[in-house]
């Protein structure tokens, strides 16, 4: 949608000068940082239809020289065939036939671009209310969420919905891009009002927002500072994205400074026990537990608790195909050898001592319901948590989020409801068939997250984030609701 037929002089001038492969322009220093050294930031975009989301994405890709000539020409050609002028940047991201025909984004498109400082994975999410489930998909892995707001309409229902999704999933950074400021003559007052409104909604939801005035169409404050907004001295959208630490970086930075000594977690994926299939005889008796560190830094020698069994042992070694390690950090895929021959299987969680995860049989959680059929009390579902999959029973639905309540917190905006429909966010209590080490999502992003799966057809039904553990531990050591 957006920025289609209107002429876009700035963009036309910036179009690649050459059209043929033979006349390739000299190296684009800006487009090729070394991925062996740069860090990765995953971010998602959100916003109502017509707020200019696809144009902003197109602008970011364009201004970071990430659109190659043939892709650019294809979009230029299609724009022309449809009677438009210049280039409809939205066509770069709307990859499906139905999307281009209807001019809307239906599903998340992933884009890849880079600057000398960083590489980016961009999840370009749809704006329509009916596709909120895809926004949840895009935001679940995001280190940052860019929410577009049209300066003429301000914070809308859909903006609040997207801020609520960001709060629910604890996306570490939210950037509110107040778009189309060119249409109001680059005036400061409307921007200031929206910035204050967005900040208020954000703080109600417990998230801090960075607000930037932009014109995605003309490029102001997206990748370069605008001379037309002298009253804005903050960073551009791209500068923010380049400098924000990722969720993993925040986690490991805390650990390295010793400021917040949270423990480490590793869900066990497979038991590596090659025997006759070992790549060489020396590994015939090898026994290691494969997994990706979901939080923290593991050191050889660390004491370990295996959940849910609660057995204790120590880390005897950390292995990779490239050789042993002394330590492994968030995001690394490794194999762990343990000092004792304890029973460990896929689905178990290895956890540090003394701040080990605890296994629970009852959980309270926020659930974003993503399926067409509703969720009701007494429904049977599967909980996929880390590498574990267990049966569960929905014992209570205590409320549904009403995003129309201004300035509310996630909790205060929960109103009464006893079922969840598509795109609802609600508070649900689950009884698990066997214990799982599910933790408070606000403290442990990976071990607090789960998805609900339909036991009959295997469909993914919901995104779940466990809430703060209810006080009162039952006699069996499990938390009670």
Partner 1 sequence: MRDPRMSATPTTTGLSTLEALESEGIHILREAVATARKPVILFSGGKDSVAVLHLATKAFWPGRVPIELLHVDTGHNFDEVIAFRDATVERLGLRLKVAKVQDYIDDGRLRERPDGTRNALQTVPLLGAIADGDYDVVFGGARRDEEKARAKERVVSLRDEFGAWDPRNQRPELWNLYNTRHLPGQHVRVFPLSNWTELDVWRYIDREALELPDLYYAHEREVFERDGMLLAPHPALARKESEPLKRRVVRYRTVGDASCTGAVESAAASVADVIAEVAATRITERGATRADDRASEAAMEDRKKEGYF
Dist. CA 71–CA 81, nearest whole Å: 15
* Closer CB to partner 1, 118 or 180, in the complex: 118
Contact 149, 156 (CB under 8 A): yes
Dist. CA 28–CA 242, nearest whole Å: 18
* Closer CB to partner 1, 74 or 314, in the complex: 74
Determine how β-strand 118-124 pairs with β-strand 109-115.
antiparallel
Closest CA to 182 of 152, 146, 148: 152
> Which helix (H) or strand (E) is 23 found in, with range?
none
| Rg of the chain taking only CA atoms, in angstroms | 24
Site string for partner 1, 287-316 (x = CB under 8 A): ---xxx------------------------
- DSSP letter string, 89-109: THHHH--SHHHHHHTS--S-E
Dist. CA 26–CA 263, nearest whole Å: 49
Q: Does 329 bind partner 1 (CB under 8 A)?
A: yes
Q: Does 248 bind partner 1 (CB under 8 A)?
A: yes
Q: Does 331 bind partner 1 (CB under 8 A)?
A: yes
* Closer CB to partner 1, 98 or 342, in the complex: 98
Which residue from 195, 356, 449, 466 is in contact with partner 1, where contact means CB under 8 A?
Answer: 449
* Closer CB to partner 1, 37 or 233, in the complex: 37
Span interacting with partner 1, options 54-62, 244-252, 354-362, 411-419, rule CB under 8 A: 244-252
Site string for partner 1, 70-109 (x = CB under 8 A): xx--x---x-------------xxxxxxx-x-----xxxx
Instruction: Give the CA distances from residue 89 to residues 6, 52, 107, 308, in Å, rounded to whole numbers and listed in that order.
Output: 12, 10, 17, 51
* Closer CB to partner 1, 13 or 37, in the complex: 37
Q: Does 317 bind partner 1 (CB under 8 A)?
A: no
Number of residues that bind partner 1 (CB under 8 A): 107
Question: Which residue stretches of 180-220 are H helix?
Answer: 188-204
Which parts of 181-210 interact with partner 1 (CB under 8 A)? 208
Residue 140 CB-half CA count within 13 A: 18
Dist. CA 42–CA 176, nearest whole Å: 16
Whose tokens are 């679940």? That residue is 140
User: Shortest Cβ distance from residue 70 to partner 1 (Å)?
Assistant: 4
Q: Does 253 bind partner 1 (CB under 8 A)?
A: yes
Q: Does 8 bind partner 1 (CB under 8 A)?
A: no
Contact 150, 180 (CB under 8 A): yes
Which parts of 155-174 interact with partner 1 (CB under 8 A)? 172-173
Which parts of 129-158 interact with partner 1 (CB under 8 A)? 133-134, 136-137, 140-141
Q: Does 417 bind partner 1 (CB under 8 A)?
A: no
Contact 133, 166 (CB under 8 A): no
User: Shortest Cβ distance from residue 417 to partner 1 (Å)?
Assistant: 21
Q: Does 286 bind partner 1 (CB under 8 A)?
A: yes
List of residues 6+ apart from 218 with CB closer than 8 A: 8, 10, 182
Which residue from 9, 13, 36, 189 is in contact with partner 1, where contact means CB under 8 A?
Answer: 36
* Closer CB to partner 1, 215 or 246, in the complex: 246
User: Shortest Cβ distance from residue 88 to partner 1 (Å)?
Assistant: 13
Whose tokens are 């984004």? That residue is 105
Closest CA to 391 of 476, 453, 306, 310: 453
User: Shortest Cβ distance from residue 163 to partner 1 (Å)?
Assistant: 18
Which residue from 10, 14, 15, 16 is in contact with partner 1, where contact means CB under 8 A?
Answer: 16
User: Shortest Cβ distance from residue 334 to partner 1 (Å)?
Assistant: 9
Which parts of 356-385 interact with partner 1 (CB under 8 A)? 370, 384-385
């Amino acid at each position: 949608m957006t920025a289609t037929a209107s002429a876009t002089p700035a963009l036309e001038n910036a179009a690649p000068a050459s059209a043929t492969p033979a006349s390739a322009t000299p190296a684009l220093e800006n487009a090729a940082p070394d991925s062996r050294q740069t860090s990765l930031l995953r971010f998602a975009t959100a916003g109502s239809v017509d707020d200019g989301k696809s144009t902003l994405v197109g602008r970011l890709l364009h201004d970071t020289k990430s659109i190659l000539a043939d892709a650019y020409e294809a979009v230029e050609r299609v724009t022309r065939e449809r009677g438009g002028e210049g280039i409809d940047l939205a066509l770069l991201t709307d990859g499906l036939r139905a999307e281009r025909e209807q001019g809307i984004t239906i599903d998340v498109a992933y884009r890849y671009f880079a600057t000398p400082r960083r590489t980016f994975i961009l999840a370009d999410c749809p704006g329509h209310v009916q596709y909120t489930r895809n926004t949840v998909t895009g935001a679940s892995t995001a280190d940052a969420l860019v929410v577009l707001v049209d300066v003429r309409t301000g914070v809308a229902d859909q903006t609040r919905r997207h801020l609520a999704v960001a709060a629910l999933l604890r996306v570490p950074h939210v950037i509110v891009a107040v778009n189309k400021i060119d249409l109001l003559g680059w005036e400061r007052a409307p921007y200031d009002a929206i910035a204050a409104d967005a900040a208020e909604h954000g703080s109600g939801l417990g998230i801090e927002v960075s607000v930037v005035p932009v014109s995605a169409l003309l490029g102001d404050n997206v990748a370069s500072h605008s001379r037309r907004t002298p009253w804005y001295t903050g960073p551009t959208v791209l500068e923010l994205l380049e400098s924000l630490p990722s969720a993993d970086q925040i986690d490991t930075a805390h650990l390295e400074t010793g400021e917040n000594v949270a423990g480490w977690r590793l869900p066990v994926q497979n038991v590596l026990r090659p025997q006759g299939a070992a790549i060489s005889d020396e590994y015939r008796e090898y026994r290691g537990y494969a997994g990706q560190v979901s939080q923290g830094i593991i050191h050889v020698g660390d004491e370990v608790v295996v959940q849910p069994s609660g057995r204790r042992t120590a880390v005897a070694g950390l292995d990779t195909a490239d050789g042993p390690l002394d330590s492994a950090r968030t995001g690394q895929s490794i194999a762990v050898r343990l000092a004792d021959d304890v029973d460990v299987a896929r689905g178990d969680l290895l956890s540090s001592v003394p701040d080990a995860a605890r296994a629970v049989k009852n959980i309270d959680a926020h659930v974003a319901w993503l399926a067409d059929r509703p969720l009701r009390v007494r429904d049977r579902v599967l909980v996929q948590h880390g590498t574990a999959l267990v049966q569960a029973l929905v014992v209570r639905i205590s409320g549904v989020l009403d995003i129309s309540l201004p300035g509310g917190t996630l909790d205060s905006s929960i109103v009464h409801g006893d079922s969840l429909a598509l795109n609802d966010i609600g508070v649900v209590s689950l009884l698990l068939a066997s214990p799982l080490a599910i933790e408070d999502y606000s403290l442990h992003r990976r071990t607090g997250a789960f998805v609900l799966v339909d036991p009959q057809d295997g469909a993914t039904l919901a995104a779940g984030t466990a809430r703060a553990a209810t006080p009162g531990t039952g006699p069996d050591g499990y938390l009670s609701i």
